[in-house]
Amino acid sequence: MDGGTESPVGRSPRTPEAEIGHRLEDLWDVQQPQLSPSQKLNSCFEDLPVSSFPAAPPSQVIDIPSDASLADAVETLSKHKILSAPVRNVNAPEDASWIDKYIGIVEFPGIAVWLLHQFEIANSNPEAAASMGGSFFETLTSSEFYKNTKVEDIAGSFRWAPFLALQNSDSFLTMLLLLSKYRMKSLPVVDLGEGKIENVITQSAVVHMLAECVGLHWFENWGSKKLYELGLPIMKPNRLLKVTEEEPVLKAFKLMRAKGVGGLPVVNESGEKAIGNISIRDVQYLLTAPEIYKDYRSITVKNFLTAVRRYLEEHHEASPMLRGLVTCKRDDTLEDIILRLDHEKIHRIYVVDEEENLQGVITLRDIISKLVHEPHGYFGDFFYGVVPLPESSRV
């Protein structure tokens, strides 16, 4: 079946993501009949090279020079509306291999938490920053320390993510496993000949691809299953991490970093009902708009979310933070969840019962993990020199 023929849902592919879906459909149709559906999916994704994944917008395929200041790095990430970027070693020789050209990944959460850590060391108080007033970040981001510290100065810190890249010849299976089981948030794709990054694949881009495949046979075989049939949500309600509105927002971000989660539900006083969400991505607003908190005596979760929403509305910026909490039920299908996550441009959806009590969370990583599995010994020495991953990569 080529890109110009009618699809099983009665229309021709119109996007690069839909083209991938049809290529997978072709591969699905020729799989050995004795294979289980799970084995068929693994085989299909193993046969598809990363080079066929749609290109990310050029604004997202960037790097940051190692001699850039933390302030410059924050400005670059904010300007391009991305959470992280590879760091290019400006001292590497021109003929260096790509693995020597890049020394890690710099990210908003890493910068923010590193700055807080330095402040707390200077004050000999591990909770000093959390109790600071609303002007704390405005003072911090105007300091010479923030403006003069270079990205390379925090290289090697435990808060750095590894530079783990794909090559065009790697398979979709490799890519999917790295984004799910191995907890990578995004993966640069490196052109070995040029020694440069030519694409970036994110969890969100993969979920968008899946949303474009709705209706195809291979997708429906998997996506039509209900959450409870797939063992989702994975985490039990009593083990779910959460925060209340009155807790310091810095404690919330530190908890996310320490536990390796990308967001937390904001719950009512009883802790049973979710009334909001705070994401690790939101930490960027502590650095890019520090002035919006100065009227608050302290930056609680509630004050933080209120200030950021007001800032976004005043600047006419679209953001999931301006929409209500998105929830689902355990008898919703995976297809329902994928379409909702893709439409809302969010990374997690909270599972509630009939009384709206919080039951769990479904993340992009959970979805991908139910799509493929890792064959025994699959990666070999792929991670040599990179894994075990530092805790900073587990956001």
Q: Where residue 393 falls among pLDDT bands split at 50, 70, 90?
A: very low
**Which range, 73-87, 105-119, 151-165, 370-384, has the best average confidence (pLDDT)?**
73-87
pLDDT of residue 386: 56
Tell whether the model's pLDDT for residue 9 goes beyond 50.
Answer: no
pLDDT at residue 157 tops 60:
no
Residue in this structure with the two tokens 């929409």, named with its chain if needed = 323
The DSSP annotation for 329-362 comes to: -TTSBHHHHHHHHHHHT-SEEEEE-TT--EEEEE
Nearest CA among 177, 191, 98 for reference residue 371: 177
CA distances 238 to 234, 242, 273, 359, 360, Å, are 12, 10, 13, 9, 9
Under 8 Å between Cβ of 148 and 197: no
**What is the pLDDT, as a whole number, of residue 388?**
43
Looking up tokens 């909490």 gives 325
| Residue 5: predicted pLDDT | 43
Give which of 242, 252, 241, 240 is closest to 300, Cα–Cα: 252
Residue 82 is given by DSSP the state -
321: which 2 tokens?
């933070």
Q: Could you give the CA distance from residue 166 to residue 135 in angstroms, rounded to a whole number?
A: 42
Instruction: Quote the CA–CA distance of 347 and 341 in Å, as a whole number.
Output: 7
Of all residues in the chain, the percent with pLDDT exceeding 70 is 89
pLDDT score, position 124:
64
Angle between helices 37-46 and 16-29 (to 10 degrees): 120
| Predicted local confidence at residue 128, as pLDDT | 60
Between CA 116 and CA 264 the distance in angstroms is: 20
Whole-number pLDDT of residue 1: 39
Determine the pLDDT at residue 301: 95
Judged by DSSP in three states, 188 sits in: strand
**pLDDT of 223 above 80:** yes
Out of 51-65, 103-117, 161-175, 371-385, give the one with best mean pLDDT: 51-65
pLDDT computed for residue 227 by the predictor: 97
Alpha-carbon dihedral 307, 308, 310, 314, rounded to 10 degrees:
130
Please give the pLDDT value at position 109: 83
Better-predicted residue by pLDDT, 350 or 3: 350
